[in-house]
């Protein structure tokens, strides 16, 4: 006993730094979440009423061919062993081969995801730039026509089906007025003109200094991005209004006004400052929703993004592509949550 106490005195335990503990906890949380995501996608792929062997060989294939492919896919092994093989492949960014084009799914996702990211990024910029000020003005002027306008605008954004707004937008702004480009990312004469550096055609055209392609691409993206932006604007403005109303009714706001502080400082330097952390979560989730939920928009506007890619793969029973796209979308949510946590510490020192 005395020897053990003597060893403790000679070799005291050094506590881990707080930043290291936080890093290890974050990595552990990410690992568990990602493992759960992979397990769920694997189970979905197995319970779907689709025979992956028939999807490859076709219904007219012989029994010998069917059995050979069945063994090649490892479907004869126990379910746990299949999951471990699946986990190993995904960790090496191997999602299998697409049944539609016989290309690796990872290459297809790398090709289509930048288009979705470009569309969703413009949409969230539109939603934040207009939605946040609108929500603040609605809260400050509660019960006024500005408040009523903001609430009706948000209600319409929630109520109108996005596919209907897309069709009406194409009919009016493209078919009748001719103000915007039609479906697709660029016109047929500008396809494959600029070298694909980032996969985002606006950035690639700007890097190539090809302003004709940039103008044409912008005319094609402005309408679908505005529709997605309007959808996110409805959510962001509504949540901003709710957060601001809660802050404006607090005692510290009344005290600031009694002291003679200007309304601008009361609203933006006090009330808005205290809702920034909440808005980070709202904006991050809205952005993630645009990245994974723009399926109908991409289909209506023939936008070659990950949403239309997963939909086409699902209709064609291409489960490798479906599961690969699902994993990527889930990973996006995880990364955005991590990014939100980092921003918490920037805007709220208490989170440190």
Query: What is residue 306's predicted lDDT score, i.e. its pLDDT?
Result: 87
In contact, 263 and 318? CB cutoff 8 Å: no
Domain locations in the chain? 25-91, 107-351
Mean pLDDT of 160-183: 86
Query: What is residue 349's predicted lDDT score, i.e. its pLDDT?
Result: 58
Query: What is residue 185's predicted lDDT score, i.e. its pLDDT?
Result: 86
- Ranked by mean pLDDT, the top range of 29-33, 65-69, 269-273 is 269-273
Q: What is the pLDDT of residues 15-48, one digit of tens each?
A: 666 656 667 777 777 778 888 878 887 887 777 7
Q: Which two tokens stand for residue 314?
A: 């699902």
**Cα distance between residue 221 and residue 153, in whole Å:** 22
pLDDT bin (cut points 50, 70, 90) of residue 236 is very high
Q: Which residues lie across from 97 on neighbouring strands? A: 104
Mean pLDDT of 108-124: 90
**Cα distance between residue 127 and residue 228, in whole Å:** 8
Q: How far apart are the first and last CA of the chain?
A: 40
Taking Cα atoms as reference points, which of 116, 56, 63, 62 lies closest to residue 298? 116
pLDDT bin (cut points 50, 70, 90) of residue 267 is confident
Task: Please name the residues in contact with 279: beta carbons below 8 A apart, sequence gap of 6 or more.
Answer: 132, 236, 239, 240, 243
Whether domain 107-351 has CATH 1.10.1040.10 = no
Query: What is residue 130's predicted lDDT score, i.e. its pLDDT?
Result: 92
Q: Which two tokens stand for residue 42?
A: 């694997």
51 pLDDT higher than 80: no
In contact, 349 and 282? CB cutoff 8 Å: no
> In the 3-class helix/strand/coil scheme, how is the chain assigned residue by residue?
CHHHHHHHHHCCCCCCCHHHHHHHHHHHHHHHHHHHHHHHHHHHHHHCCCCHHHHHHCCCCCHHHHHHHHHHCCCCCCHHHHHHHHHHHHHCCCCCECCCCCCEHHHHHHHHHHHHHHHHHHHHHHHHHHHHHHHHHHHHCCCCHHHHHHHHHHHHHHHCCHHHHHHHHHHHHHHHCCCCCCCCCCCHHHCCCCCCCCCCHHHHHHHCCCHHHHHHHHHHHHHHHHHHHHHHHHHHHHHHHHHHHHHHCCHHHHHHHHCCCCHHHHHHHHHHHHHHHHHHHHHHHHHHHHHHHCHHHHHHCCCCCHHHHHHHHHHCCCHHHHHHHHHHHHHHHHHHHHHHHHHHHHHCHHHC
In contact, 323 and 94? CB cutoff 8 Å: no
**Cα distance between residue 244 and residue 253, in whole Å:** 11
**Cα distance between residue 45 and residue 51, in whole Å:** 10
Ramachandran sector of residue 97 (left: φ over 0; alpha: ψ -120 to 50; beta: rest): beta
312 pLDDT higher than 80: yes
Burial of 334 (0-12, 13-18, 19+ CB in 10 A): middle
Query: What is residue 134's predicted lDDT score, i.e. its pLDDT?
Result: 92
Taking Cα atoms as reference points, which of 230, 234, 224 lies closest to residue 299? 224
In contact, 299 and 264? CB cutoff 8 Å: no
In contact, 318 and 99? CB cutoff 8 Å: yes
């Amino acid at each position: 006993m005395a020897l053990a106490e003597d060893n403790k005195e000679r070799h005291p335990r050094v506590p881990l730094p707080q930043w290291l503990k936080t890093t290890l906890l974050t990595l552990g949380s990410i690992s568990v979440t990602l493992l759960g995501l992979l397990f769920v996608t694997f189970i979905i792929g197995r319970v779907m009423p689709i025979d992956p062997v028939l999807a490859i060989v076709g219904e007219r294939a012989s029994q010998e061919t069917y059995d050979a492919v069945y063994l090649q896919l490892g479907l004869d092994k126990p379910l746990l062993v299949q999951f471990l093989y699946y986990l190993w492949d995904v960790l090496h960014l191997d999602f299998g081969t697409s049944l539609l084009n016989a290309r690796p799914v990872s290459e297809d996702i790398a090709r289509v995801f930048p288009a979705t990211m470009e569309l969703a990024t413009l949409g969230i910029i539109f939603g934040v730039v207009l939605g946040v000020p609108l929500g603040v003005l609605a809260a400050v002027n509660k019960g006024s026509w500005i408040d009523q306008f903001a609430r009706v605008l948000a209600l319409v954004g929630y109520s109108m089906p996005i596919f209907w707004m897309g069709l009406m937008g194409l009919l009016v702004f493209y078919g009748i007025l001719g103000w915007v480009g039609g479906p697709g990312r660029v016109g047929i004469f500008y396809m494959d003109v600029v070298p694909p550096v980032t996969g985002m055609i606006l950035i690639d055209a700007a890097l190539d200094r090809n302003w004709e392609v940039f103008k044409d691409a912008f005319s094609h993206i402005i309408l679908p991005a505005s529709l997605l932006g309007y959808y996110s604007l409805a959510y962001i403005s509504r949540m901003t209004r709710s957060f601001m109303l809660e802050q404006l009714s607090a005692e510290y706001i009344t005290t600031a006004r009694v002291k003679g502080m200007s309304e601008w400082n009361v609203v933006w330097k006090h009330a808005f400052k205290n809702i920034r952390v909440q808005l980070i979560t709202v904006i991050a989730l809205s952005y993630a929703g645009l990245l994974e939920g723009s399926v109908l928009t991409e289909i209506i506007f023939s936008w070659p993004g990950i949403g239309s890619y997963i939909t086409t793969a699902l209709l064609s029973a291409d489960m490798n592509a479906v599961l690969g796209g699902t994993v990527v979308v889930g990973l996006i949510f995880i990364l955005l949550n991590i990014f939100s946590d980092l921003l918490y510490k920037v805007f709220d020192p208490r989170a440190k």
